[in-house]
C-alpha cells in the first residue's frame, strides 16, 4: 500500500507536477528500494532502466512508455521476491523486468486517456470563469493531478500484487540454464542502454568519439587495477 | 504587485502541466499560475472575467521557460489595467514566444542536460557511489530551478528583454557541448560496465567475452539506428542470453 501511494506521488513528477526528475528510474528505483530497506537493489534497477529510458521524456503531445511505473514495479517486486525466495537480485530483476515491460505501454495509454479527460476540465474552467466561480476554476485547473494520482495508485496496487505473485510462482520453476540466461541478460541490458544513448547523440561522428573514449577509459581502468 | 503574490505565482508555475489536455494543452496550468496576480491587478467586480478568458486560450511551451513568459505576462497585465498596452497584445506575445521557448527548452533541457546528467549519475552508481541519485537531482535541478526563478523575476522586472537574456546564454551551443560530453562519458560508462561484469561473463570460451560484448553493443546500436524499438531488442537480448547460457 505504501509503495503504491509513494509510487503514484513519484509518477506525478513525470508531467503533472514539478518535473524535478524524481520520477526518473535512477531516483525512483533507489527511493522505493530504500523504503523497503534495500537501496542497493534499487540502484541496480535504476542503472538499467535509466539507460534504457534515457531519451524518453513526455515532450509536448508525445507520451513515451512509462519509465516510472516500470521502475517502481521492478524494484518493489524484486526486493519482496528476493526475501520470499532467498534468491540473488540479477535473475529476479531480469524476470520481473520481462514481465513488467507491458505495464509501461498500459500506463502510456492511461496517460493519453487522462489527457483526453482533461479536456472536460478545460470546459469546466470556461464555465467557472463565466460564473466567476474561482473555487471551481481552481478545482478544474488541478483536476488532472487528482486523476493521475488515483490512476497511478490503482495501477500500482493491482500490478504490485499480481506481479509479486507471478514472480513468486514462476521463479522456482525455472531451470538452472534459464536462471543463468537471465543473469547474462541482466548484464547485457546496460550494454543495450548505452547503445541507445549513443544512437540518440546528435554530434558529428558519435561512434568514433565513443570508441576512442571507451578505449581510453578501459586502458585507464587497467592501469588503476595494475 | 507584492513579493508574496509573485512568490505564489512562481510556486504555481511548477503546476503548469497539472491538467495538460489535448485541446488547449497547458492553458489550465497557465491560468492557475497567473490567477493570484490577476486577482491583485483586477480588483473591481466583474473585471477579472476577461483576463481569465484570455489565459484559458491555447498555450504550450517548455515548462521550465514558461515561468519567464508568465513573469512577462504578469507585468503586461498590469500595463493592460493601467491602459498602457492593449489586451490583445498579451495573447500576441504568448503566441509569439511560446514556440521558440519550447524549442530551446526541449533541445537544451530534454535533449542535452537530462541525458548528460543521467549518464553522470549512472556512471557514479556503476562505480558504487550510492549517493548517485542525489547527485543526479542536484546537477539537474540547479539549472532547472535557477532558470525558473531567474526567468520569472527577470520577466516581471524587464519584460520581453528576458528573451534577449536567454539568447545571450546561447543554449544551442551549450547543448552541443553537453551532448559531446555525454558521448565521451558513455564510452567511460561502457568501460566501467565491462569491468564490473562478473568473471563468468568475461571468461574465455563463453559466448560473451569482452570482444563479443563489444560486438553485442555494435549490433544493438545498429538495430536502434535501423529503427528497431528498444522493447523488441530487449526480447532479442533475452533469447540470445538464454541461448548463450546453454553453450556454457
Mind listing the pLDDT tens digit for each residue in B36-75? 999 999 988 788 999 999 999 999 999 999 999 999 999 9
Q: Which pLDDT band, with edges at 50, 70 and 90, does A221 fall under? A: confident
Reference B210, options A126, A62, A222, A88; nearest CA is: A222
Rg over alpha carbons for chain A, rounded to the nearest Å, is 21
Q: Is the pLDDT of residue B82 over 50?
A: yes
CA distance A125 to B79: 25
Q: Does A150 contact chain B (CB < 8 Å)? A: no
* Chain-chain contact of A140 with B15 (C-beta, under 8 angstroms): no
Selected residue of B28, B40, B126, B193 to mutate for chain A interface (largest A Cβ count, 10 A): B28
Please state the φ and ψ torsions of residue B155, each to the nearest 5 degrees: -60, -40
pLDDT at B200: 47
pLDDT at B196: 74
CB pairs under 8 A between A and B: 275
Burial of A95 (0-12, 13-18, 19+ CB in 10 A): buried
The three cell numbers locating residue A10: 513519484
CB-nearest to A201 from B21, B27, B179 is: B179
Q: Is the pLDDT of residue B217 over 70?
A: yes
State chain B's mean pLDDT as an integer: 90
Closest CA of chain A from B98, distance in Å: 12
Contacts of A142 in chain B (CB under 8 A): 15, 18-19, 32
pLDDT at B205: 46
Closest CA of chain A from B94, distance in Å: 16
CB A77 within 8 A of CB A103: no
CB-nearest to A26 from B28, B133, B241 is: B133
pLDDT at A64: 83
CA distance A80 to A25: 18
Largest CA distance in chain B: 83
pLDDT at A205: 85
Contacts of A126 in chain B (CB under 8 A): 53, 56
pLDDT at B230: 85
pLDDT at B238: 92
Q: Does A136 contact chain B (CB < 8 Å)? A: no
pLDDT mean over A21-26: 96
Reference A129, options A117, A141, A119; nearest CA is: A141
Q: Which pLDDT band, with edges at 50, 70 and 90, does A62 fall under? A: confident
The three cell numbers locating residue A215: 578505449
Least confident residue range of A23-37, A174-188, B64-78 = A174-188
pLDDT at B117: 96
CB-nearest to B19 from A24, A52, A121 is: A121
CA distance A186 to A78: 13
Q: Which pLDDT band, with edges at 50, 70 and 90, does A56 fall under? A: confident
pLDDT in tens, B135-145: 999 999 999 99
Residues sharing a CB contact under 8 Å with residue A201, sequence separation 6 or more, in sequence order? A210, B179, B182, B183, B186
Q: Which pLDDT band, with edges at 50, 70 and 90, does A122 fall under? A: very high
Least confident residue range of A87-96, B57-66, B166-175, B197-206 = B197-206
* Chain-chain contact of A218 with B220 (C-beta, under 8 angstroms): no
* B25 bridge partner residues: B21, B59
Where are the extended beta strands (E) located within chain A? none
Residues sharing a CB contact under 8 Å with residue B179, sequence separation 6 or more, in sequence order? A201, A202, A203, B111, B112, B115, B116
CB B90 within 8 A of CB B75: no
Contacts of B217 in chain A (CB under 8 A): 191, 194-195
pLDDT at A118: 96
State chain A's mean pLDDT as an integer: 91
Closest CA of chain A from B183, distance in Å: 6
Q: Is the pLDDT of residue A51 over 90?
A: yes
Q: Is the pLDDT of residue B212 over 80?
A: no
Q: Is the pLDDT of residue A60 over 80?
A: no
* Chain-chain contact of B191 with A122 (C-beta, under 8 angstroms): no
Reference B219, options A98, A195, A185; nearest CA is: A195
* Chain-chain contact of B122 with A18 (C-beta, under 8 angstroms): no
Q: Which pLDDT band, with edges at 50, 70 and 90, does B198 fall under? A: low
State the sign of the Cα–Cα–Cα–Cα dihedral B29, B32, B33, B38. Answer: positive
Contacts of B221 in chain A (CB under 8 A): 195, 198-199, 207
Terminal Cα-to-Cα distance of chain A (whole angstroms)? 49
pLDDT mean over A128-147: 94
Q: Is the pLDDT of residue A115 over 90?
A: yes
pTM of the full structure: 0.92
- Number of DSSP helices (H) and strands (E) in chain B, helices first: 12, 0
Q: Which pLDDT band, with edges at 50, 70 and 90, does B98 fall under? A: very high
The three cell numbers locating residue A172: 522456482
pLDDT in tens, B184-197: 999 999 988 887 77
Q: Is the pLDDT of residue B76 over 70?
A: yes
Burial of A224 (0-12, 13-18, 19+ CB in 10 A): exposed
The three cell numbers locating residue A201: 547523440
* B21 bridge partner residues: B25
pLDDT mean over B211-221: 85
Reference A46, options A207, A180, A189, A158; nearest CA is: A189
The three cell numbers locating residue B120: 553522470
Q: Which residue of A has its CA nearest to B177?
A: A203
Residue B14 DSSP code: G
How many other CB atoms sit within 10 Å of the CB of residue A155? 22
Interhelix angle A89-130/A39-52, rounded to 10 degrees, is 70
pLDDT at A57: 67
CA distance A123 to B8: 25
Q: Is the pLDDT of residue B207 over 70?
A: no
Amino acid at each position: 500500500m505504501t509503495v503504491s501511494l509513494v509510487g503514484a506521488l513519484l509518477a506525478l513528477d513525470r508531467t503533472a507536477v514539478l518535473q524535478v526528475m524524481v520520477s526518473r528510474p535512477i531516483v525512483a528505483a533507489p527511493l522505493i528500494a530504500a523504503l523497503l530497506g534495500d537501496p542497493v537493489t534499487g540502484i541496480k534497477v535504476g542503472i538499467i532502466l535509466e539507460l534504457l529510458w534515457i531519451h524518453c521524456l513526455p515532450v509536448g503531445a508525445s507520451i513515451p512508455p512509462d519509465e516510472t511505473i516500470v521502475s517502481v514495479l521492478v524494484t518493489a517486486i524484486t526486493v519482496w521476491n528476493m526475501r520470499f525466495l532467498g534468491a540473488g537480485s540479477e535473475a529476479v530483476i531480469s524476470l520481473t523486468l520481462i514481465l513488467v515491460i507491458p505495464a509501461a505501454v498500459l500506463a502510456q495509454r492511461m496517460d493519453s486517456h487522462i489527457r483526453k479527460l482533461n479536456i472536460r476540465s478545460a470546459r469546466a474552467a470556461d464555465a467557472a470563469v463565466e460564473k466567476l466561480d474561482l473555487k471551481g476554476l481552481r478545482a478544474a485547473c488541478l483536476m488532472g493531478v487528482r486523476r493521475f494520482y488515483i490512476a497511478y495508485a490503482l495501477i500500482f496496487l493491482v500490478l504490485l500484487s499480481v506481479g509479486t505473485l507471478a514472480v513468486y510462482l514462476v521463479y522456482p520453476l525455472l531451470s538452472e540454464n534459464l536462471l543463468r540466461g537471465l543473469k547474462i541478460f541482466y548484464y547485457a541490458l546496460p550494454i543495450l542502454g548505452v547503445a541507445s544513448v549513443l544512437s540518440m547523440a546528435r554530434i558529428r561522428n558519435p561512434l568514433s568519439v565513443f570508441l576512442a573514449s571507451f578505449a581510453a577509459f578501459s586502458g585507464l581502468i587497467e592501469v588503476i587495477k595494475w | 504587485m507584492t513579493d508574496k503574490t509573485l512568490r505564489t505565482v512562481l510556486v504555481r508555475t511548477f503546476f503548469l502541466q497539472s491538467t495538460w489536455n489535448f485541446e488547449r494543452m497547458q492553458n489550465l496550468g497557465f491560468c492557475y499560475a497567473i490567477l493570484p496576480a490577476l486577482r491583485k491587478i483586477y480588483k473591481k467586480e466583474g473585471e477579472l472575467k476577461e483576463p481569465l478568458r484570455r489565459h484559458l486560450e491555447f498555450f504550450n511551451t517548455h515548462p521550465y521557460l514558461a515561468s519567464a513568459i508568465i513573469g512577462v505576462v504578469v507585468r503586461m497585465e498590469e500595463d493592460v489595467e493601467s491602459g498602457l498596452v492593449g489586451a490583445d497584445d498579451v495573447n500576441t506575445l504568448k503566441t509569439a514566444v511560446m514556440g521558440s521557448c519550447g524549442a530551446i527548452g526541449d533541445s537544451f533541457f530534454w535533449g542535452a542536460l537530462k541525458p548528460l546528467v543521467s549518464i553522470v549519475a549512472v556512471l557514479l552508481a556503476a562505480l558504487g557511489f550510492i549517493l548517485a541519485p542525489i547527485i543526479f537531482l542536484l546537477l539537474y535541478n540547479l539549472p532547472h530551478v535557477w532558470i525558473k526563478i531567474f526567468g520569472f523575476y527577470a520577466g516581471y522586472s524587464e519584460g520581453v528583454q528576458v528573451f534577449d537574456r536567454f539568447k545571450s546564454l546561447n543554449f544551442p551551443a551549450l547543448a552541443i557541448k553537453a551532448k559531446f560530453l555525454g558521448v565521451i562519458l558513455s564510452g567511460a560508462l561502457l568501460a566501467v560496465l565491462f569491468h564490473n561484469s562478473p568473471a563468468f561473463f568475461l571468461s574465455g570460451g563463453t559466448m560473451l567475452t569482452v570482444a563479443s560484448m563489444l560486438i553485442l553493443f555494435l549490433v544493438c546500436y545498429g538495430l536502434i539506428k535501423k529503427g528497431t524499438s528498444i522493447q523488441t531488442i530487449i526480447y532479442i537480448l533475452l533469447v540470445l542470453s538464454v541461448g548463450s547460457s546453454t553453450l556454457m
